[in-house]
Amino acid sequence: MAIVNQVQKKVRMDLWEIVKLQFITHCFIKNIKVSDLDLSCLSMLAISGETELTDFCNTAADNNIFGCSQSVRNAVAKAERKGLIDFVKVGKNRKKIKISKEIVVQTTGNILLDYKFIRFEPQESKGSE
Model confidence pLDDT, tens digit, residues 5-22: 888 999 999 999 999 999
Q: For residue 128, is pLDDT > 60?
A: no
Rg of the Cα atoms in the chain = 19
Domains held by the chain: number: 1
**What are the Cα distances from residue 81, in Å, to 33, 48, 87, 128?**
12, 21, 11, 52
- The answer to whether residue 15 is domain-embedded is no
pLDDT value, residue 126: 66
pLDDT in tens, 92-123: 888 999 999 999 999 999 999 999 998 888 87
- Of all residues in the chain, the percent with pLDDT exceeding 70 is 95
pLDDT value, residue 94: 87
- Give me the CATH number covering residue 90: 1.10.10.10
Q: 84 is in which domain, residue-wise?
A: 39-113
Please state at what angle helix 36-48 crosses helix 53-62, rounded to 10 degrees. 120
Report pTM: 0.86
- The answer to whether residue 51 is domain-embedded is yes
- The answer to whether residue 55 is domain-embedded is yes
- The answer to whether residue 64 is domain-embedded is yes
